[in-house]
């Protein structure tokens, strides 16, 4: 199971409602996950934390997804069918010079207009051939994970290159792409720790 977690959270404070704040929003997109693979859907695998999130949050139970990851991600991020985002046929393979069109407004860009902080952990797989297509350039404050799909989760190598990254905007407002050669072994713990600190 490959998860792509999107976190959006920041209290809104203005002169009209000093004590109100907007809700935290967490999207969890899991590739290759069957309907009955979670506890709250009747599965045999115990998933108490996901069960609690499902019980206390909004659960999308009739959302149409595609049979492969990039089209599903493009639809989730843009709110448009993949045929309208250019992802109706395939995924992005290493070295391919394309991605989710830059004229597509995506979730983190919209939420930034409402003063949310935005964070992503997991697999991006929506473009990387130019910096303008990467998560931190598309509205996320930071991103930890892979730009491509079909990763080796122990070596972090895909298409002959190392692809585990920590992207963010530093305190001077400069974009930083930190390729994480220092993280060896399974990414599960790294993803969990990254999500924990958000």
Q: What percent of the chain has pLDDT over 90?
A: 47
- For residue 40, how many other CB atoms are within 10 A of its CB? 14
Report yes or no: 152 and 158 within 8 Å, Cβ to Cβ.
yes
Question: Is residue 99 within 8 Å of residue 126, measured between CB atoms?
Answer: yes
Region 32-59: mean pLDDT is 86
- CA atoms within 13 Å, Cβ hemisphere of 131: 10
In this prediction, residue 168 carries a pLDDT of: 92
CB 106 within 8 A of CB 127: no
Determine the pLDDT at residue 193. 66
> Is 46 or 17 the better-scoring residue by pLDDT?
46
Q: Which one of 3, 35, 84, 125 is the catalytic residue?
A: 125
125 is a catalytic site residue: yes
144-164 as b/e, with b when 16 or more CB fall inside 10 Å?
bbbbbbebeeeebebeeeebb
More confident residue, 191 or 116: 116
Give bridge partners of residue 158 from the DSSP assignment.
161
DSSP state for residue 22 in the 8-state scheme: P
Q: Is residue 129 annotated as part of the catalytic site, yes or no? A: no
Q: With 0.85 as the threshold, say if the pTM is over it.
A: no
Task: Identify the active-site residue in 63, 69, 89, 172.
Answer: 69
């Amino acid at each position: 199971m490959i998860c792509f977690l999107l976190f959006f959270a920041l209290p809104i404070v203005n002169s009209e409602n000093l004590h109100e704040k907007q809700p935290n929003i967490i999207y969890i997109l899991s590739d290759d996950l069957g309907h009955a693979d979670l506890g709250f859907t009747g599965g045999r695998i115990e998933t108490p934390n996901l069960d609690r999130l499902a019980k206390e949050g909004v659960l999308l139970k009739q959302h149409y997804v595609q049979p492969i990851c990039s089209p599903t991600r493009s639809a989730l991020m843009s709110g448009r069918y993949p045929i309208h985002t250019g992802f109706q046929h395939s995924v992005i393979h290493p070295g391919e010079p394309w991605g989710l069109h830059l004229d597509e407004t995506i979730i983190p860009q919209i939420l930034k207009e409402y003063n949310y902080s935005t964070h992503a952990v997991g697999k991006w797989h929506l473009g990387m051939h130019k910096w303008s297509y990467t998560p931190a350039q598309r509205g996320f404050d930071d991103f930890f994970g892979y730009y491509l799909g079909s990763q080796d989760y122990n070596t972090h190598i895909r298409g002959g290159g190392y692809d585990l990254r920590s992207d963010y905007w530093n305190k001077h407002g400069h974009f930083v792409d930190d390729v994480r050669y220092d993280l060896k072994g399974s990414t599960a713990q790294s993803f969990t720790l990254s999500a924990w600190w958000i």
